[in-house]
Amino acid sequence: MDDHEPASTSSGTSSGSTARRRTGGRSARIRSQVVEAVGALLVEVGYDGLSVDAVAERAGVHRTTVYRRWRDVGGLLADVLAAASDDTWSPQDTGSLEGDLTALNQEVYEALAAGPTVTTALIAASFRSAEAAGALSRFWADRYERCTPVVTRAAARGELAPGTDARALLVTATAPLYQELLLLRAAPDPRLPERAARAAAAAARAGTFATP
């Protein structure tokens, strides 16, 4: 990706070797600096205090580069979420459905209960930016897809019936954390991850998420 081109043009390079060069070096360094700056500013000042100029100053990048490459705040937020999807994260394999769901919930809990974080700031910003909302939906879809092995492993062990709806089960397991910590703003409860996982696992074993 060229350092002075919008991200949307990165697929329009003339050769594979050029495309590969553009994935690293100065371009990657600038993106890393900008993504880090967006996250820090979101936590500090929220969506209303976020601007391309503020991000450029915080990242130590020329404002023209940021404007050309990300265009606006929506583009910046979308790329922060896209960068988060570039990792190699996968759910833990604890050897049981309830254990896997508890481990997954524990990660969610730690991200939500630690006070203002990039995670909670991005969720809040998604209600103010259509571009961020779309990127966040893609991020959740990616994360739930990566968690599918939790359900397929359980089925292979005989804990669940084959054909169990993985997404429905995973959403049921994680939803109480978002409900309690983000919507209800309840005090953090360290028992919540395991309790929600246990309830979802019991429902799954009873066939609640069986597909026709």
Asked if the model's pLDDT at residue 35 lies above 80, the reply is yes
For 130-164, what is each residue's pLDDT tens digit? 999 999 999 999 999 999 999 999 999 999 999 99
Report yes or no: 201 and 101 within 8 Å, Cβ to Cβ.
yes
Tell me the C-alpha distance between 78 and 35, whole Å: 10
The percent of residues in the chain predicted with pLDDT above 70, rounded, is: 89
Taking only the tens place, the pLDDT of each residue in 64-76 is 999 999 999 999 9
Are 177 and 114 in contact by the 8 Å Cβ rule? The answer is no
Query: Is residue 85 within 8 Å of residue 139, measured between CB atoms?
Result: yes
pTM of the model: 0.82
Tens of pLDDT, residue by residue over 94-120, are 999 999 999 999 999 999 998 788 999
Question: Of 13 and 63, which is predicted with more confidence?
Answer: 63
- Does residue 207 register a pLDDT over 80? yes
pLDDT above 90 covers a percentage of the chain that reads: 83
pLDDT score of 60: 97
The helix/strand/coil state of 209 is coil
Closest CA to 199 of 178, 168, 176: 176
Phi/psi for 25 (5° steps) reads 65, -140
Q: What is the Cβ-side half-sphere exposure of residue 121, based on CA atoms within 13 angstroms?
A: 22
Region for residue 95 given its phi and psi (left: phi exceeds 0; alpha: psi -120 to 50; beta: otherwise): left
